[in-house]
Amino acid sequence: MPEVEGEMLLMKLDQKGYAVSSGSACASGGKEASPVLIAMGVEPTLAKSAIRISLGLGNTQEEISNFIQLLKALVYQA
């Protein structure tokens, strides 16, 4: 998501009750851009704005739709 600071987006989503992260699960907590995204040719500044969203069997379509609506609102707000 160009023009969006990944860490700020993570904090805003966390405040709304959504647990997302930046980078891979094995590299969580790091402040560097994802090495996987870099290896795929994604520019470092764009890779640093990436977030990782995980779903489980218990997630409903309504929860997913609500998350997408909130994500859009936060991204367009930035």
Catalytic residues: 26
Phi, psi of 25 (to 5 degrees): -60, -35
Give the separation between CA 69 and CA 78, rounded to whole angstroms. 15
